Chains A and B, each alone.
Chain A
């Protein structure tokens, strides 16, 4: 690998942007669907979930990257799982201690971060093969991309189902809320349409 600062900076920038759009975990890689649908009824829980995932992704990628030379091939998935489970437990405790109401709203979906395909996939494909810095940036990029997608989806669902965003009323009272948006139907269909939109836009770019 060439060690010129120029190419390193280029690689970092590329890694960061990949997670945000080109390889957005939810919209392009189709990972992490479960929490996406479950917590996006409103923007607050979506943001909380996104931040938790960023925290776990960062910690997990850093630890795995530090350990990468020591990993035995057939035990590595177990190592990843153990690492991720530990950090998710810590994140869950943090939420229970400092954001009790959000913790309740998110309910069992916080521990489900352990099986969130995004984190294990990034550990396997990126962190176990790259340097500490690249892994950290990748975690940030993927995490922010994920959070962004969640918030967009949540914003749409929250406005249409309650007329408010972040519990602040935005639409006039004349608007009759679409209660279906707050239920599984709305979640699936909105995400499906969003994905279709992204596909249409990306095809045009190419």
Chain B
């Protein structure tokens, strides 16, 4: 039961309290440049969730089984990014074979996921936070993906409505999106400290 507790707390923590987009600034680069429709955002979120869960787990395994403590540790970053690129390739091949229409609608997004800061960022954070069991790593990776999806869906929804609002000309597009993200970050700050230290 205690393990379940820790896992649940960890999950809630990374989805809401330490949300990767609003507290660690990860994953918004590709998002800012593309249009803000909810269905595209949701699709990208799902793809990212899958890739990040896979990468988070694989990189944790590689770290703990092979790299840490050995002279090979210095090749961490190269290994991580290769694993992520590989995972994205896998997703691409799988989608192309079994869901061709979905693959078409993703277009350029899929390969772009490799450069999504959130994925590499999460792999590094898992190491930084000293997660020492596999189950926790899997749950946190999955949670990160869910948190990311939630964040960009909220932003896409707001952005859709902003298209109808009277935004001053210089602020249209990226600037107002950033300001929106800032206000959302402010809102999410309210969750900090939700899990008491004891």
- Taken together as a complex, chains A and B put the C-alpha atoms of A203 and B168 apart, in Å, by 13
A188, B178: Cβ atoms closer than 8 Å: yes
- Annotate B1-42 by CB proximity to A: 1 below 8 A, 0 otherwise: 000000000000000000000111111111011000000000
- Annotate A90-113 by CB proximity to B: 1 below 8 A, 0 otherwise: 001100000000000001100110
Tell me if B182 counts as interface (CB < 8 A to partner A).
Answer: yes
B33, A30: Cβ atoms closer than 8 Å: yes
The answer to whether residues A112 and B170 also contact, given A77-B111, A89-B78, A120-B115 and a CB cut-off of 8 A, is: no
Min CB gap B87→A, angstroms: 13
B117, A86: Cβ atoms closer than 8 Å: no
- Taken together as a complex, chains A and B put the C-alpha atoms of A32 and B25 apart, in Å, by 11
Min CB gap A147→B, angstroms: 18
Chain B interface main SS type = helix
Q: How many residues on chain B are close to A (CB under 8 Å)?
A: 47
- Taken together as a complex, chains A and B put the C-alpha atoms of A31 and B32 apart, in Å, by 9
Q: Which residue of B lies closest to A82 (CB)?
A: B78
The answer to whether residues A192 and B176 also contact, given A37-B25, A117-B30 and a CB cut-off of 8 A, is: yes
Tell me if A199 counts as interface (CB < 8 A to partner B).
Answer: yes
Contact size range, A: 35 or more
Residue in contact with B120 in the complex, picked from A30, A111, A191, CB distance below 8 Å: A111
B178, A92: Cβ atoms closer than 8 Å: no
Which residues of chain A have C-beta atoms less than 8 A from B77's C-beta? 85, 88-89, 92, 111, 114
The answer to whether residues A34 and B81 also contact, given A111-B124, A184-B22, A184-B25 and a CB cut-off of 8 A, is: no
Q: Top 10 closest A-B pairs, CB basis?
A: A188-B182, A192-B178, A200-B170, A189-B182, A196-B175, A192-B179, A184-B185, A199-B170, A37-B25, A34-B117
Q: With contacts A115-B117, A115-B120, A199-B175 known, what are 19 further pairs, Cβ within 8 A?
A: A30-B29, A32-B29, A33-B28, A34-B25, A34-B28, A89-B74, A92-B77, A111-B77, A112-B26, A114-B120, A184-B22, A184-B25, A184-B182, A184-B185, A187-B182, A188-B185, A189-B182, A192-B175, A195-B178
